[in-house]
Amino acid sequence: MQYRTLGRTGITVSTLSLGAMNFGQIGRTTPAEATAMVDAALDAGINLIDTADAYRDSELLVGQAIAGRRDDIILATKATLPIGELRNHQGSSRRWLYTQVDNSLKRLGVDHIDLYQMHRWDPATSDEETLSALTDLQRAGKIRYFGSSTFPAYRIVQAQWAAQANHLSRYVTEQPGYSILQRGAETHVLPVTEQYGMGVLVWSPLASGWLSGAVRAGQDVTTNRSTFMPQRFDLSLPANRAKLEAVEQLAHIAQEAGLTLIQLALGFVNAHPAVTSALIGPRTMAHLRSQLDAADTVLPPDVLDAIDRVVAPGTDLAPDEKHDAPPALLDPHLRRRTAQPALSLPIA
């Protein structure tokens, strides 16, 4: 296992981190299986575990799995996504973050969180409100650092400016989606994180199973994601056909280089100088072992050049799957000026 410094925090983390989204209900992983995977990951040298309040019972299972060895682990979790149906049980307000930090601490069974991340940018809450709350939680000792996840580049910049202008602590990490098939982060997000010295924890480096070998031409799709995100694997859609064509070419590149497709995919994201660690999200022990085999993969320039010829730098093969689009791209009412009623002048 290799290690890198997480931004400018001084913390050293493994270049593969354990993402726990599949622990519990989402991935149908039992408590025993989750604990076994945590054991194997730690034994392999992984020292960062990432979960979220929105991952159903994941925090509970992570807490059970790390009991008695908290000091050896960089523990990361997230907030902001809706929890239940109540109106204010979401977002990045001080009210909700104060509630959710305590809830996460209880579920995890710990007295502090190393890295507390805003799961998505909350357009209803000002940067000053959120950063002020996070800074106070940091000073109270409940969190050590805080970061963002899937923020558009301009929002990362705005938050850095807001922290400086208001003398508040700043986001020290960003967690973007990034893979060979989804390279849009290279255009704006990764250059911005480099500019501000932020650590980068990449999610979905295997592109929801597309780069694990679970989606190949002429074979049944075997990834669990296809059961609750079927549109992302519907080969009647042009974007998915483009991904399948790319996967077949990438599989050939991997074979020629003596690598598995997983090694190629994880080696690719960790080759970018802005990336600190790639989050792997295994559902089974077999998944974990196949991903740990990529821990020390370093891709030579000719292999990286071959990947660039398949998917050009900065290109998203499935742009609709992005989670960092400005709200106006998703809601047509936000990009259309409302017609103003004609001005009626009084008659003298």
For 228-271, give the DSSP string. Answer: H-GGGG-TTSHHHHHHHHHHHHHHHHHHHTT--HHHHHHHHHHH
Q: Which long-range contacts (CB under 8 A, 24 or more apart) does 336-340 make?
A: none
Token output for 316: 């998203």
Place of tokens 């994880």: 266
**Residues pairing with 24 in the sheet:** 29
Query: How far does the chain reach from its first CA to its final CA, in angstroms?
Result: 84
- CA distances to 193, 343, 345 from 348, rounded to whole Å, are 62, 15, 9
DSSP secondary structure code for residue 311 in this structure: S
Judge whether 178 counts as a catalytic residue: no
- CA distances to 40, 185, 260, 278 from 290, rounded to whole Å, are 12, 26, 9, 14
Report the DSSP pairing between strands 3-5 and 12-14: antiparallel
Phi, psi of 56, deg, nearest 5: 55, -115
- Taking the C-alpha atoms of residue 179 and residue 270, their distance in angstroms, rounded to an integer, is 10
Token output for 335: 């990009």
Residue among 3, 55, 171, 178 flagged as catalytic: 55
- Taking the C-alpha atoms of residue 91 and residue 176, their distance in angstroms, rounded to an integer, is 18
Q: Which residues are the active-site residues?
A: 55
